[in-house]
Amino acid sequence: MTKRMRIFAKGLLYQCKKFKLKAECIFVEWNPIPEKPLLKDILPLPKPDDYLTIRFIQVPNSLHKQLKHSDKLPLFQMIAKNVGIRRSNAPMVICTNVDLLFSDNLFSELGSINIDRGTFFRCNRCDIPNHIREDISVEEQLNFSKNNILQRLGKNNKYAELEDTRGLIYKIPGVLELFGFFLRVKTKLFGKTIDDELSILDTDACGDFTLMHKEDWIKIEGYYELEAYSLHIDSIAIYMAYASGLKQSILNWKSCTYHIRHDNGWELMDPVKKIYFDIEKPMLDWSTVSQLAYKMIEKKKAILINQPAWGMRDQLLKEYIFEPGKEMREIN
């Protein structure tokens, strides 16, 4: 994980500078182990001519232990993401993970996205081998990623009902246009069913990239703060956003994230391991999520469950701030 985090941070620093995109990256350091080094001591930090500010916000063990199942789960990922959402200074917030590289196409598109409220953005996730080298340049890492895609997750950006493997579908003349024509005719004649609407929403690997205005994140109260493993909670946020009236925009298939594959990931587990995993870790089952999604889309209203102080709003958390060209600031 340390290797993947260093690749992630190095990539962000490089691409923010390359595309002259001023941004902040918030690492929520949940339940740090006392004898281990902190993230600020092992990750790349901004240089004076960089464009990226990096903030490390700590959630101590004392707060972690207040949550149910804290003995089984060392990290409550979605509550941690809410901590970052609440404290973000930027008008647009991407919730993502620390084992990714962003494609140059994605970074280029980020600089031109309209920051108005009312839309949430999704992009494809491309899994790449975990033997990607850390000691090569970011450009070399991106080239390796582009040429070593193991699988692609997510809807394509033209017609959400069609899934794309490696962009090959776009090379078949007229296929997407013809499919889109049939969809429009069907909707015109029979209307759009709830199942139609659910099928359009891009929940595949949505925890790796969901972008929306901060005020829209606040509107849906971030992620459900369940004291459970994070699986499926990211999908619920997509359903809440859509049920709240936000439109979905799926970015161009070239504007993807590259996910460094790891053997303990949910996608790679065999069915037996998944059953064991389910027994060991408290988590949502998909049938419950499906029922919840159906109800929200049917009523066109998000079902909110978080407390007003979600994201640990009222907690004073230690923070280390690294801005380009400035001394590190510590907030207690």
Mind listing the pLDDT tens digit for each residue in 213-249?
999 999 999 999 999 989 899 999 999 999 999 999 9
Contacts 24+ apart (CB under 8 A), 190-199: 194/294, 194/297, 194/298, 197/242, 197/297, 198/239, 198/293, 198/294, 198/297, 199/160, 199/161
Assess if residue 207 is contained within a domain: yes
Count of domains for the chain: 1
Q: Is the pLDDT of residue 166 over 70?
A: no
For residue 197, tell me if it sits in a domain.
no
Specify the CATH number for the domain of residue 38.
3.90.550
Q: Which of 56-65, 141-150, 180-189, 260-269 has the lowest mean pLDDT?
A: 180-189
Predicted pLDDT at 113: 83
pLDDT digits (tens, 9 = 90+) for 89-130: 999 999 999 999 999 999 999 988 877 899 999 999 999 999
Percent of the chain with pLDDT over 70: 84
Whether residue 19 is contained in a domain is answered as yes
Which letter does DSSP use for residue 207 in this model? G
What integer pLDDT is reported at residue 83 of this predicted model?
A: 98
Structural domain contains residue 196: no
Asked if residue 317 is part of any domain, the answer here is yes
52 beta partners: 23
Residue range(s) defining the domain that contains residue 125: 2-154+202-331
For residue 185, tell me if it sits in a domain: no
Hey, which bits of the chain come out as E strands? 23-30, 52-59, 92-96, 100-102, 119-122, 125-128, 151-153, 209-213, 247-250, 257-260, 319-322, 329-331
The answer to whether 91 and 115 are in contact (CB under 8 A) is yes
Are 16 and 23 contacting, i.e. CB atoms less than 8 angstroms apart?
yes
User: What would the two tokens of residue 25 be?
Assistant: 């990256």
d(CA 192, CA 204): 22
What rounded mean pLDDT belongs to the chain? 88
Centre a 10 Å sphere on the Cβ of residue 200 and count the other Cβ atoms it contains.
Answer: 16
In a domain, 165, yes or no: no
- The confidence score (pLDDT) of residue 14 equals 98
Mean pLDDT value across residues 257-261: 96
Q: Which two tokens stand for residue 313?
A: 């709003």
**Rounded distance between C-alpha atoms, residue 237 and residue 79, angstroms:** 13
Is 37 a member of any domain? yes
Q: Tell whether the model's pLDDT for residue 167 goes beyond 50.
A: no
CA distance 57 to 39: 10
